[in-house]
Amino acid sequence: MTDHNHGKLIVITGPSGVGKGTLVRSLLEKHPELHLSTSATTRPPRPGEVDGKDYFFVSRHRFQQMVERGELIEWAEFAGNYYGTPRQAVTEAIAAGESVLLEIELEGARQISRTFPEAVRVFIRPPSMAELERRLRSRGQDSEEAIARRLNRAKIEMEATAEFNFTLVNDDLDRALDKLEALLFVPV
């Protein structure tokens, strides 16, 4: 971007089921120089999750302290748990010339546009609402009610695409990955 010694903050967001996680994992496999930010959360660890690797698992009290002390560049509450991005790890990595990737929800992405305006913000869209519904159903992890909630939320989130630097349609993983790489790795 401006200084070649400085990394950048890359924010990836989009509706639930759009394939953000798959795109991010594929991008990290191809570009190990990218650093995936680890979020803090108040939710308990799931089997196999490692503190400090998958998430920083903290108490509600500790999370509130982090918010009050300005230690998070963004945070939000989902399903009764808090999630946030610790500021220090992100700013240190960027200062060291690393590019940091955040895969976060819309509310967090909006906060980042205020706290980190130089971030590269990418909104991932599904090819259609019908395809998004098919993807959510194929995951087989949500009730009908949860799927309906996610689809309603997706409709609202899609109205926010103009707030982002880039919008990318995840129609085909390889094609979407190529487009994402073209956005992030502009030849100098």
Pick left, alpha or beta for residue 140 (phi over 0 → left; psi -120 to 50 → alpha; otherwise beta).
Answer: left
User: Nearest Cα to 64, choosing from 52, 72, 56?
Assistant: 72
pTM: 0.86
Please give the full DSSP string across 26-58, using - where no structure is assigned: HHHHH-TTEEEPPPEESSPPPTT--BTTTBEE-
In CATH, what number does 9-184 get?
3.40.50.300
Tens-level pLDDT at each residue, the chain (188 residues): 344 457 999 999 999 889 998 999 999 999 999 999 999 999 999 889 999 998 999 999 999 999 999 999 999 988 789 999 999 999 999 999 999 999 998 999 999 998 899 999 999 999 999 999 999 999 887 889 989 999 999 999 999 999 999 999 999 999 999 999 999 986 65
Residue 81 and residue 171: Cα distance in Å, rounded? Answer: 31
Enumerate the domain spans of the chain.
9-184
Q: Which own/partner contact pairs does 110-119 have at CB distance under 8 Å and 24+ positions apart?
A: 110/160, 110/163, 111/73, 111/74, 111/75, 111/76, 112/9, 112/11, 112/73, 112/74, 112/85, 113/163, 115/73, 115/74, 116/9, 116/73, 118/1, 118/8, 118/9, 119/8, 119/9, 119/10, 119/11
Q: Please answer whether residues 86 and 40 qualify as being in contact, where contact means their C-beta atoms are separated by less than 8 angstroms.
A: yes
